[in-house]
Structure 1
Amino acid sequence: MNGEQYTTQLRKPFFASSDDPAYVVHEDTFYQLRSVIVDEVVETHPVLRLFDSEDDPSTAIDGSGEGALPEADQRAVGIAHMAARARGNEGGFPSGLVQRGGYVYRSEEAREESELLAEDGPAYVTYRDATYEVEIDHEQFHEPVYRPTAEPVADDSEHIETILVATLVGARVTGDDLSTEAQQILSEASDDDYSETHPFSDAYTEVLRALDKRAYIDGNIRKDAGVRSNENEMIQYGDTYHEFFLRFGNEADT
């Protein structure tokens, strides 16, 4: 960045946060990459929303077919369709894509390419056998302005490993800490999934305590354990780092 006060909007630089830091090495120095908010700007962006239509007009444009609409519009219709489909139904929609009940055209290139945003743009589109009425609004967005930062944190690989372990690794477990049966459970889990039905065996209870997952043992599992499927954690087992996650199976208390 050559000392310049470079800034960006919308997305955090480096896709980094305090919970999920990013690092880079440059000329034998390791830097932690983050960002700070230094300002706020008000931007006006077009928002595409789709609404169910009882009509089936012949002028409706295919929102998913190749060549019918520009690529930017096809993406917009696909995302706005998720919001339209979710209205009044259970299941919701991907909040990272859908915003304000539709799709926000933030890219200048996408706006210039779009046919839906044109004054004479189509009033109806079809998508997956459904016909939607097109609604375009121009709305204000308050967006933070980020300044990237790169803080030097280490001068060698051993030091950066220590930093990463302190940042990312939770429980530290050695073979001497566990019984033979508990070690066998971890060995089996490293090759394939391992599961038990509550109440757990002594060996599995031992493993859960070593992983500092006591809520699975002592409390109301579903209420107290903070169970989140597919969210990996890291442990150090012996001299090796492992990712692991706990999840419920088909049985209510498995």
Structure 2
Amino acid sequence: MSWTLTRLLPGAPFPDPEWALPAHAPYPGLLAVGGRLDAATLKAAYTRGIFPWFGPGEPPLWWSPDPRMVLEPGALAVRRSLRQSARRFLVHADFELHVDREFRGVMQECAAPRRDTAETWIVPAVIDAYCGLHAEGLAHSFELWHGGELAAGLYCVALGGMVFGESMFTRVADGSKVLLMALCGFCLRHGLGPIDCQQQTAHLARMGAQPRPRSEFLQTLRQRLTIAGPERWQYDWSQFQHDCAPWL
């Protein structure tokens, strides 16, 4: 059996996400290859439930998997050890919580080699494109600082009432998970969500994310895009402590 991928020209519209390769194909969820990688293209992709994911030396690859992993902010699973870590960060003055203080820096840290692999999809062109979204107020970073240095971070895309989680890193135990708590708390405060987690993984499932059929996800996306998001993305420990009280 053979499958056909759409080859995008720069500026061309994306195909229907339902055209993505099926679950039994070699690359399930792959929709298109090529095209331009910039803020405008990313915005067009996310509004249709499509995201980029490719490696160094590859052309842009665009995906829309079925099912789609989604986290409802209020469904975040917080285990005892994570509660303890959150409380520890709260009481130590050396730990600071910031939003959008160092967006590019968070992306660069997320792109750094990991213990399990030296490969990354967050190539320099990807960082530049998402920084373009950030400049438009459509991408944000949650950051944990320790002693004046960036200790953990996550970044996301936000369009209307929808949030798309991208990547995270940490140098301290549970740092990125506490930031996910902060993001969920922020979403609950402002009526945002669900949070698109894209691919199914056991780690995301343990954090409370669940798979949804792509058709259901796309319907939710269309609805949430009609909602105005917050004018300013700000968050601190006092808001965290209030919004995340049920988990603490």
TM bucket (normalised to shorter chain) is under 0.3
Give the TM-score of the pair, scaled to structure 2.
0.18
Instruction: Compare the two structures and name the one with the higher helix fraction.
Output: 2
| TM-score normalised to structure 1 length | 0.18
Larger Cα Rg: Structure 1 or Structure 2? 1
